Structure 1
């Protein structure tokens, strides 16, 4: 059943032969069945397979043992392995995210690194039909976007390729049975039994009732998901057409609409118009923005009151003035600066940061507020400046370069801080460091005889 399902998925979704496939593997039955199934068809489709595992460091030695299990399985089966231990608890402290959301962000960030490293075509994940049922129910209860109500997508764009989920037509017991038949003894995560997590409560208390009513309910949910996606994609096409009559002015992160034209659009498209506008001005929708904000904007636009203003997360405000409604960020007087550093010393920036540059011949330990590079790699003058359009940097621990704009979005930096944040470059305009955000490849392992440059940043309160 499992192999047939995989082959059917490959055919239906036109998965390319000779493709490079990264598989996210936790060591549990779902991902181990996925890994083994892909391995079983590898020669038939000429796939290159890379297994990747993230240790979230939640369960100490037990987590390390999970990674060792996956690594050893890869060695036995002659499969490429990429693993990483990530201190998710530290990330939770830095971001304030829930443990599950923080773990997901760290995990997907690592998946992207591996996709880029191997220039992979696909990231395969082992979500199954019961995961789909849980996700759709949770989003219906909590609230979501129209596309969010579709649940887990079988296939979507990600990094250098696409995420694929071949097992959404199967139930978990199908994958457990497959592992048993193939003599795979998967790892077990005890946190899956705890009702402290919302998903577990849905799994333990709602799913048994649903599958008692209909043992193939997951197929009905999957059919609903596909239909919802198809309908939503069509409605979004209509919305984009409607936007041509609604938008009066559009510039970088600011949109003005014609209220009368907007109200002539069907209500189902009005909601989607607002969603598209918010996605455009924010670039990346912040955690604090909810469906309630969107509903409030719609209610106010339909109200006869001709002037009002509503504030949204991260400094965005929506302001109606008679027949115009503008979505824009609060105007901030950005302090533009370019400071050339020709020698060691302390340099004050106009936005409240200060930078200390030292030369040192001793081995130094990198810290969060300090960047260390070799005088052989980097030459004076150093430059401290605001960001510029098109800025890219080569990140420490990653191949290739990444847009600075995307780095700020990934790190969820507030929009109001981005334009004034200090960017430190060498004399060739190579970005060395975005303080407290990302370090470049220029911070590496140094030999004991190298002369080092240490750059320390003291931040203003932010």
Structure 2
């Protein structure tokens, strides 16, 4: 087994010399085998080991006996052991999630704590070849695509590794017996009360006996082949993502041209956009991906609500994916008095609630300023300002007298003409001098405060877009 695990680790570039590997150790056969094998090959790999155990407090005295077993095993091997007790049932109720999901959150949260505090850079998890086969069968029955057929990945995020994913459960059990490890047994794994247990205890044995005795190996081979194709398509879709998608804080804008690329790339591009906004794709199904694609074919202004508080909106053919806002945008207003600016000559403002920060600076007109150097830097006749400089978001009925025009135009119409997405309109700053709008940042300036040859003092206003 040791050679098989070493080859699998090297094939998937799981570990390099000098790594500190934290083993997720439940006390069951899989994790006990994993820790013992890694311990036996630690010198050949050039790694150091530790173990992490969470007592879920779900199995009465058995939970505490599992914890004790883990501590004794680590002590016998001379490796550090980190344990924590978490009331998973209470956590699940408090967060309104399943016990399984609560347990997962607790475990990965604990792993991250140890990584930060103790300097581990890899976490080894004891999924085996049978787990892989069960996962793929369950996904096929639910309905899945090529990504689902990949199953459990040997390496995730370059941190989480699964060194015994190539080892069958029977081999693991034999290894534990041969090495007198006497692992703990969770009796609930032997009962056909959960879907996965039914697949493990009933379906796979039935397929082995009646159709294919090597079904576990066949499904693992399928996962490996699917992974090769999936990685290639993922890389291609990532290239398309950077070509067609623009990221802002909490938002991704997918250019309408993206919807002409191959469907295999487009679905992944949309999924990546969702992940950027929400940090996860949990609760998202292919149906939701296709709902977004269908939305793009519809009218501008239409939107759909999606899981995880995500909203997708059609904005003139582009698709904007963002976090749903439940409250109507609050009125935002920053006021700087001209008297105050006269004294300081320069003012820096953090514009919370808007898309930008800003710098205001009073200068003498030397007739050498490029008035059109940037959409986010504009110049105004400072002497035409009476009392206050106001930076705010839009209000109903707002109008501006655009540069070069004799009449006024509604701000709303300017947003429509420039195809500004609905969800961004409340975040675009308006610069006002007293009661007059002088600048819709990034779009239009007013004719009322333009710089001319008679201007003596200039107010330079610079906006800095936050990443």
SS at match of 1:311: strand
Deviations 1:195-230 (A, max 9, x none): 332211211222112333333333332232232222
Q: How does 1:163-202 map to 2 (within 5 A)?
A: 163-202=160-199
Where do 5+ consecutive residues of structure 1 fail to align?
338-385, 390-462
Name whichever of 167-176 and 10-19 sits farther off: 10-19
CA pair 330-155 structure 1, distance change in 2 beyond 3 A: closer
**Separation of aligned partners in 2, 1:107 and 1:35:** 17
Where do 5+ consecutive residues of structure 2 fail to align?
334-351, 356-467
SS at match of 1:147: helix
Deviation at 1:314? 4.5
Deviation at 1:12? 2.5
**Separation of aligned partners in 2, 1:125 and 1:258:** 39
**Separation of aligned partners in 1, 2:228 and 2:169:** 26
SS at match of 2:302: strand
Match in the other structure for 2:253: 256
CA pair 330-111 structure 1, distance change in 2 beyond 3 A: closer
Contact 2:299/2:314, CA 8 A, preserved across alignment: no
Q: Structure 1 residue 230 and structure 2 residue 228: aligned? A: yes
CA pair 327-162 structure 1, distance change in 2 beyond 3 A: closer
Q: Structure 1 residue 282 and structure 2 residue 282: aligned? A: no
SS at match of 2:159: strand
CA pair 209-309 structure 1, distance change in 2 beyond 3 A: same
Count of equivalent residues: 334
CA pair 67-149 structure 1, distance change in 2 beyond 3 A: same
Deviation at 1:304? 5.7
Match in the other structure for 2:269: 273
CA pair 116-216 structure 1, distance change in 2 beyond 3 A: farther
Q: Under a length normalisation based on structure 1, what TM-score does the superposition of the two structures give?
A: 0.66
Match in the other structure for 1:82: 82
Q: How does 1:33-72 map to 2 (within 5 A)?
A: 33-72=33-72
Q: Under a length normalisation based on structure 2, what TM-score does the superposition of the two structures give?
A: 0.65
Deviations 1:235-294 (A, max 9, x none): 1222233335544x54222233343x2332111122112112211222334x44333221
**Separation of aligned partners in 2, 1:45 and 1:238:** 33
Contact 2:29/2:172, CA 8 A, preserved across alignment: yes
Contact 1:5/1:166, CA 8 A, preserved across alignment: no
Q: Structure 1 residue 11 and structure 2 residue 14: aligned? A: no
Deviation at 1:133? 0.7
Name whichever of 168-177 and 206-215 sits farther off: 206-215
Match of 1:300 among 295, 298, 320: 295
Deviations 1:48-78 (A, max 9, x none): 1112211111012110011101111222222
Match in the other structure for 2:406: none
CA pair 326-13 structure 1, distance change in 2 beyond 3 A: closer
Deviation at 1:144? 5.4
Q: Structure 1 residue 25 and structure 2 residue 25: aligned? A: yes
**Separation of aligned partners in 1, 2:299 and 2:219:** 42
Match in the other structure for 1:109: 109
In our comparison, the structure showing a higher alpha carbon Rg is 2
Contact 1:143/1:291, CA 8 A, preserved across alignment: no
Contact 1:52/1:111, CA 8 A, preserved across alignment: yes
Match in the other structure for 1:311: 305
Match in the other structure for 2:374: none
**Separation of aligned partners in 2, 1:114 and 1:144:** 35
Deviations 1:35-60 (A, max 9, x none): 11122223333431112211111012
CA pair 311-230 structure 1, distance change in 2 beyond 3 A: same
Contact 1:169/1:219, CA 8 A, preserved across alignment: no
Match in the other structure for 2:416: none
Q: CA RMSD in A?
A: 2.9
